[in-house]
Structure 1
């Protein structure tokens, strides 16, 4: 690995400035902010200058995760148009915060009994045809994330990378596992697509659900993942997407990742 900039998910219950201050004291490079709940775009907009100042003051970067509940793969065109409008507005906010990377899901929540994969893929494409250029126009790297609940999981993601050469990828380890990838297959994927994977979600799990555990606290084998990253001299950002606001647990996750570097 040439460089792995490490961050963590800023949980919805975590106050922004104190968390950013703690991040720099622990040596994190950035925080990842999901624009939902208390950090939804309309709630954050009045605080953007204050938040950007906190990041600058403490020397911490930011990755913005656009909300995933709005459905870019809706079968209904007016819904898709509204989702695109909201996600593009989130991109504008990301720029104000100083982000250069936005993460979002190429997913569809369409009723599975009513719409088949071929149709839902086209709904997703319709939104991505607008969202990927919108990100690039704003100087943002659109890092599409492999998901579990609709067509573009880790096993089919190369199709999306081929269709959208201007898009990058967020590779989520837990999502890849839940899609049926073995640890060795994750390593092979990262070796093959290292030039397109610009961001990682390093997540562990103990079973068949997305538990958002720190690396080393579940049963995923991360050796092939980090072996691949070292082999290709990977350079990018990685988020500890941990489902906790406990600083001690986040710090443990950081130590576990650093032991692989």
Structure 2
């Protein structure tokens, strides 16, 4: 296992501050969450500055496309609008030089009225569309397992079979779905060829806590061991904090495990 290491940016902290921290902390890349103050309009308006900062620091770029955009909506107008929004974000990400884009394959349709099986057809078509659109612009789309959705880790095999998308494995989302470390490790062993990106989302319980890495009790060692020795994907620390000190602690703990 020879991954590159980065972290998901916080919308509660200035992007330049986080980029400077990434360079000082010897991270390989940053994963910019394209929402709020870092939405595509803002990033596009300062694209040259962002590209220059990344180049000066020797940092690669991954983006987390905004969510929840309803790319699985049963209503064509809503679905088309969501796809168009994601395409615009992909254009901006590609212009910034991003190599991967994390995508939530989900719908916010009313669960009482719409069964997951029906929504998956719409999601599959949208993900296929966006994967091809991204590929044409040099951006690899990585669909993420989402808890309490049509595409939890239990069902994402179908999406991988029906599209050319890569996968983002979110460890915390897997745990919320009921997977322990051994279950997630088994999934990795079966799908490492499609897993391009990982969100290291630590938890103390089956909840989407996004704790500093090592502050939870999720056992990452068997998960890492399940990846083949030649795996060269990307690992993002996904922490719900604006504290750079927690990111520093998380990187130190991750380095110890790796």
> CA separation in 2, counterparts of 1:133 and 1:175?
26
> CA separation in 2, counterparts of 1:113 and 1:19?
41
Deviation at 1:115, TM superposition (A): 0.8
The DSSP-based 3-state class of the residue aligned with 2:257 is: coil
Deviation larger for 208-217 or 53-62: 208-217
Asked if 1:100 is matched to 2:79, the reply is: no
Aligned position for 2:226: 228
Asked if 1:18 is matched to 2:25, the reply is: no
> CA separation in 1, counterparts of 2:220 and 2:89?
32
Structure 1 residue runs of 4 or more that deviate by more than 3 Å after TM superposition: none
> CA separation in 1, counterparts of 2:229 and 2:111?
39
Aligned position for 1:39: 38
Q: State the superposition RMSD in angstroms.
A: 1.1
Alignment of 1:32-111 (within 5 A): 32-111=31-110
Deviation at 1:192, TM superposition (A): 1.1
Q: Is the 8 A contact 1:41 1:93 kept in 2?
A: yes
Q: Name the TM-score, length of structure 2 as normaliser.
A: 0.97
Alignment of 1:156-195 (within 5 A): 156-164=155-163, 166-195=164-193
The DSSP-based 3-state class of the residue aligned with 1:124 is: helix
Aligned position for 1:119: 118
> CA separation in 2, counterparts of 1:173 and 1:236?
15
Asked if 1:144 is matched to 2:111, the reply is: no
Q: Name the TM-score, length of structure 1 as normaliser.
A: 0.96
The DSSP-based 3-state class of the residue aligned with 1:259 is: helix
**1:88-133 Cα distance to aligned partner (Å, 9 max, x none):** 1111111111111011011111101111122111221231231111
Deviation at 1:250, TM superposition (A): 0.3
Q: Is the 8 A contact 1:191 1:232 kept in 2?
A: no
> CA separation in 2, counterparts of 1:41 and 1:25?
26
> CA separation in 2, counterparts of 1:168 and 1:212?
23
Asked if 1:250 is matched to 2:247, the reply is: yes
The DSSP-based 3-state class of the residue aligned with 1:158 is: helix
Residue ranges of structure 1 left out of the alignment (5+ in a row): none
> CA separation in 2, counterparts of 1:44 and 1:101?
16
Residue ranges of structure 2 left out of the alignment (5+ in a row): none
Deviation at 1:232, TM superposition (A): 4.3
The DSSP-based 3-state class of the residue aligned with 2:233 is: strand
Q: Is the 8 A contact 1:155 1:181 kept in 2?
A: no
> CA separation in 2, counterparts of 1:126 and 1:163?
9
Q: Is the 8 A contact 1:16 1:51 kept in 2?
A: no
> CA separation in 1, counterparts of 2:206 and 2:185?
20
The DSSP-based 3-state class of the residue aligned with 1:6 is: strand
Deviation at 1:190, TM superposition (A): 0.8
